[in-house]
Amino acid sequence: MALQIAPSILAADFANIQKEVEMLNQSQADYIHVDIMDGVFVPNLSFGIPVTQAIHKHAKKPLDVHLMIVEPEKYVEAFFKAGAAIISVHAEASPHLHRTLQQIHSLGIKAGVAINPHTPVSILENVLHDIDLVCLMSVNPGFGGQKFIEQTYHKTKQLHAMRTHAKASFLIEIDGGVNIENAPKLKAAGADVLVAGNFVFSATNPQEVIRQLKAIP
Ligand code: DX5
Ligand code: ZN
């Protein structure tokens, strides 16, 4: 199976958001990754609901919304209404994770769980059949353009083995510092979806970069 690619709009030119989304529409990207930061769960702010709506207005690809916020359950419905096709919440920000996953599913969209680099994949053991996607953070969330954390290969393999053992069917997504050097190793470790921000948007030809990532055998 070819890798699925989710360019992170956080690295796009926000003064030309329509143009950037249209560029992605014409590319081989599978999703548009939308990073929401609250300045509390993570030490940075990004953007919120109106900007997500604006992206959705022009997007022909499903929006993969990554909530890096405390109390994500309070905003799940608003991001669904803003056009999310997948909503991922952080396990570390969700004391009632199972309830939040049910809440997301009740809206008829896909539910994901993101975990920080230090969080073991075993935290997901009891929700493996309740999730459509696991987002393994390969940088500490909060900023684009950071260096990939090598331990992610090990976590990807562990999660892949857990999925096989449980006969579960969620997608394994890797988020942070992804580039053409680490992407083949991530695929070999069991990744299905790669998020890529700076690597795509700082390229002279972002569509070609997306094509190259998808072409990894
Ligand atoms: C980090 C975000 C990532 C980030 C990826 O907090 O969740 O999605 O935008 O950007 P790059 O690929 O530049 O690390
Ligand atoms: Zn993200």
**Domains in the chain: ranges and CATH:** 4-214 (3.20.20.70)
List pLDDT tens digits, range 111-129. 999 999 999 999 999 999 9
CA of 143 to the centre of ligand 1 (A): 6
Say what the pLDDT of residue 127 is. Answer: 98
List pLDDT tens digits, range 93-104. 999 999 999 999
Look up 35 and say whether it is catalytic: yes
Say what the pLDDT of residue 207 is. Answer: 98
Q: Is the CB of 176 under 6 A from ligand 1?
A: yes
List pLDDT tens digits, range 119-173. 999 999 999 999 999 999 999 999 999 999 999 999 999 999 999 999 999 999 9
Crossing angle of helices 17-25 and 206-214, rounded to 10°: 40
Q: Is the CB of 90 under 6 A from ligand 1?
A: no
List pLDDT tens digits, range 31-58. 999 999 999 999 999 999 999 999 999 9
CA of 43 to the centre of ligand 1 (A): 14
Q: Is the CB of 34 under 6 A from ligand 1?
A: no
CA of 96 to the centre of ligand 1 (A): 25
Gyration radius of the chain over CA positions: 16
The number of C-alpha atoms within 13 Å of 58 and in the hemisphere containing its C-beta is 17
- Catalytic residue (choose from 38, 64, 132, 175): 175
- Catalytic residue (choose from 35, 64, 132, 192): 35
Say what the pLDDT of residue 42 is. Answer: 98
Six token digits for residue 140 = 């500490």
Q: Is the CB of 196 under 6 A from ligand 1?
A: yes
- Beta strand 110-115 with 84-90 is parallel
Q: Is the CB of 7 under 6 A from ligand 1?
A: no
d(CA 73, CA 62): 21
Checking 90-94 for CB contacts under 8 A at 24+ apart, the result is 90/41, 90/114, 90/115, 90/116, 90/141, 91/115, 91/119, 91/123, 91/124, 92/41, 92/116, 92/119, 93/41, 93/67, 93/69
Provide DSSP, 115-162: E-TTS-GGGGGGGTTS-SEEEEESS-TT-SSPPPPTHHHHHHHHHHHH
In the beta sheet, which residues pair with residue 110?
86
Q: Return the closest-CA partner of residue 141 out of 110, 117, 166, 174.
A: 117
Widest CA span of the chain, in angstroms?
Answer: 46
d(CA 38, CA 70): 8
User: Rounded to the nearest 5°, which phi and psi values hold at 149?
Assistant: -90, 120
